[in-house]
Structure 1
Amino acid sequence: MQSNNPVFRRSEEFNRSGANAYANQSTGGYQGYSSDPSTWGTGEPGSTPETHARPGAPMTIDSVVQKTGISLGLVILAALATWVLSPEVNADTAAADIGPLITAVAIGSLGAFVLSMVNSFKRVISPALVMAFAVLEGVALGGLSKLFNMAYGEGVVQGAVIGTFAAFGGTLAAYKFFNIQVGAKFRAFVVAAVLGMVGLSVMELILSMFGAEIGLFGVSGLGMVTAVAGLVLGVFMLIMDFDFVEQGVANGIPERESWRAAFAMTVSLVWIYTNLLRILAFFSQD
C-alpha cells in the first residue's frame, strides 16, 4: 500500500506491495499479528517466524513501544532539564529576564522543525536523528511550558500533560476495539490539513516579524479555533500512526523501522500537547 503520510512515504518497507497477502497467510499474519487490531499480541523483538523469514529482525509491537518510550523519555528529560536549569520566572518577572526561556523555545523549535523535515523525508531512518529531534523538542517544550506556567498557573501544564496521555490511551483503545479502518481519503485529508496548519504557522511567524500577526496561534478566541482543530488533527495523526504500525508489523518490516514509528508518534503527541496547552490556558484566563 502507498502512504500519503510523508513520515512513512519515504520508507520502502512501509510501502511494500503485497502486504495484505503476506499478512493474511494461513499462519494468521506475520509474527502472529493479523489485520484485526483486537488480535494484536506482543512478540519478542528479534524473533522470526519459522517460514517466510526476512533478513534481519522484524519490527514488533514491543520494539515500537520500546523505541517510542526512548523518544518520549528524551523529550521529557530535556523538558525537565530546561525547566530546572532556566531562571525562575513569575508574573512580576521583567521581559528581559525571560529572554533565556524565549531563546530556548526558539532554538529548540527551529532545530526540531529542521530535524522533523529530515526525518520525514529520509529514506533510511536514523535513530540518532530521531533522538536528536526528541531532545530539541524537549528543550522547546520545557521553555514553552514554563512560560505558560508563569502566565496561566501551574494547573495548565499539568492538565496538558495528563490530557495528552489520556488522548493517546483513548485513541489507541478506540482504534483497537472499534476496529477503525484508515482509508486513502482519510490519509489525504489529514496530511493536507496538517500541511495547511504548518503553512498558517509559517505565515503567522512572518507576519509577527512585522508586528502584523493575526493571532491564529495565540491564547484568544481566534486562537482557540486553530487549537481545537489542531487537537482533532493530532488525534487523527495518532490513528494514522497506529495503522502504519499495524501494517508494518504485518509486513514483517525490519526492526529499525520502529524508530520511524516512534518518531511519528512523538510528533503526534507533541502536537496534541501544545494545542491542549493553549486550550487550557484560554480557560484559565482571568
Structure 2
Amino acid sequence: MRSSNPFMSSLTKAEGAQQGQRGASAAYQQGYQSAGEQWGQQDQQGMAYQQSPNYGAPTKASDRPMTIDDVVTKTGITLAVIVVLAAVNFMIGQTSPGLAMGLTLVGAIGGLVAVLISSFGKKYGSPVVTLVYAAFEGLFVGGFTYMFTDMTVGGANAGSLIFQAVLGTIGVFAGMLVVYKTGAIRVTPKFTKMLVGAMIGVLVLVLGNFVFTLFTGEPTMLRDGGPIAIIFSLVCIVLAALSFLADFDQADKLIRAGAPSRYAWGVALGLAVTLVWLYTEILRLLSYLNQD
C-alpha cells in the first residue's frame, strides 16, 4: 500500500540498508572460523608459556580468562548503546524525517564496515570496534523502526508493532538458548558452513531485488508485502534464529578454551548483529501482516 510519508520516496535506500545488515550477518559468521583459528594458535603459545619461569605472575585484567559474566556484561553494554542511539534517531524521525533517513543510511554503512573490520581485520574482541558498531547500528535501528511503523503499516498502532517485534526477538533468543543448552540442534562445522551458505544465498536474492527496484522504482515479490514476501521474511527469521546457535557455540568454545576476557567483546558483537537482523525482519513481517 502507498503512504504520504516522505520516507516512501526513500524505499530503495531502505532496501540497500537492509541488504547491508544481511551482509554484516554473513560476514560475521564467516569471521568465526578465522577467529577460532587465531585463538587456537594463541592457545598453543599459552601452553608453552605455562612451562616458562614467569608463569603464575600477575597479568593484566584484559588477559584473564573469559567468563560467562564477561559475555553478559559486554553484551548488555553493547545493546544499551544500540537502544539509546535508536531512541535518539526515532525521535529525530518524528520532527525531521529527512535527517533521520540520512542517519539511518550512515548507520547501516558504518555498522557493516565495523563488522567487516572485526571479522577480517584481526580486530575480534576489540571494545572500540564493538561500541562503534553499536553506535552506528543504533542509528540504523531507530530510523528503520520509525520508517516501517509510519510508512507501511497505515492505521495500525506503531507502538504495538514495536513492542511485538521486541517481544518476538526476546522470545526467539530465549528459545534458541534453550535449544542450544539441551543439545536439540548441535553446532557442527557442517552446520556452520550450511548456515553461512544459506545467508549468502539470501544476500544474493536481496542484491538482485535491490538492483531491480533501483532501476524500476517498484519492489519485487520479495518485498511487496504479498505471500512470497511473507515467506521470504520467515526464511530470514529462521536463519537469524539459527545464527544464535553459532553465537552461543562461539562463546562456549572461547570460555572453555580460556580465551582472554577481551574476546567477550567479539561475542557481544556477534550477538548484537544477530539480534538486530532478527528484530528488523520481525518488524518487517509484522508490517506486512498489518497492511490493509
TMscore range, shorter length: 0.7 to 0.9
Quote the Cα distance in structure 1 between the aligned partners of 2:222 and 2:164. 22
In structure 2, C-alpha distance between the alignment counterparts of 1:252 and 1:179, rounded to whole Å: 26
1:210 to 212, 215, 240: 215
- Equivalents in 2 of 1:102, 1:215: separation in Å? 24
TM-score, with structure 1 as normaliser: 0.78
Distance 1:15-1:223 versus aligned 2 partners, 3 A rule = farther
Report matched runs for 1:222-237 at 5 Å. 222-237=228-243
- Distance (Å, rounded) in 1 between the aligned partners of 2:283 and 2:82: 16
Instruction: Tell me the alpha carbon deviations over residues 128-169 of structure 1, each in whole angstroms, 9 at most, x when there is no partner.
Output: 111111111110110111112213232211110111011111
Note the C-alpha offset of 1:276.
0.4
Deviation digits for residues 43-66 of structure 1, max 9, x if unmatched?
xxxxxxx9xx99921111110111
* TM-score computed with the length of structure 2 as normaliser: 0.76
**Which of residues 81, 87, 93 is equivalent to 1:74?**
81
2-structure distance, mates of 1:185, 1:74? 34
The question of whether the paired residues in 2 share the 8 Å contact of 1:14 and 1:253 is answered with no
Give the alignment of 1:233-248 within 5 angstroms: 233-248=239-254
CA distance in 2, matches of 1:82, 1:202: 26
Aligned residues of 2:117 and 2:123 also touching (Cα < 8 A): no
Give the superposition deviation at 1:83: 1.1
CA contact (8 A) 2:71 2:268 kept: yes
Give unpaired runs (5+ residues) of structure 1.
20-49, 89-96
Native 8 Å contact 1:119 1:129 kept in 2 = yes
1:106 partner letter: L
CA distance in structure 2 between the partners assigned to 1:105 and 1:219 by the alignment: 22
Q: CA deviation at 1:13?
A: 6.0
Which of 195, 201, 206 is the aligned partner of 2:200? 195
8 Å contact from structure 2 (residues 149, 287) kept in 1: no
Runs of 4+ with >4 A deviation? 12-15
The letter of the residue matching 1:248 is L
- What whole-Å deviation, never above 9, does each CA across 1:12-71 have from its counterpart, x for those lacking one? 56652798xxxxxxxxxxxxxxxxxxxxxxxxxxxxxx9xx9992111111011111111
Would you say how many aligned residue pairs link Structure 1 and Structure 2? 246
Q: How big is the shift at 1:204?
A: 2.3
Whole-angstrom distance in 2 between the partners of 1:242 and 1:14: 18
Percent identity over the alignment?
A: 28
CA distance in 1, matches of 2:105, 2:225: 18
**Residues 17, 107 of structure 1: alpha-carbon distance in 2 compared, 3 angstrom cutoff:** closer
1:105 corresponds to 2:89: no
2:127 aligns with 127
CA contact (8 A) 1:227 1:279 kept: yes
What corresponds to 1:57 in structure 2?
64
Q: Structure 1 residues 59, 118: closer, same or farther in 2, change over 3 A?
A: same
Residues 187/12 of structure 1: CA separation in 2 closer, same or farther (3 Å cut): closer
CA-to-aligned-CA distance 1:204-257 (integer Å, 9 cap, x gap): 222222126424245332221221011000111001111111111110011111
RMSD: 2.8
1:253 alignment partner in structure 2: 259
Q: Distance in 2 between matches of 1:140 and 1:165?
A: 19
Q: Once the two structures are superposed, what CA deviation does each residue of 1:75-114 show, in whole Å capped at 9, x if it has no partner? A: 11110011123334xxxxxxxx732332222221122122
Distance in 2 (CA, whole Å) between partners of 1:132 and 1:75 is 10
Contact 1:87/1:100, CA 8 A, preserved across alignment: no
Q: Which amino acid aligns with 1:272?
A: L
User: Which has the larger helix fraction?
Assistant: 2
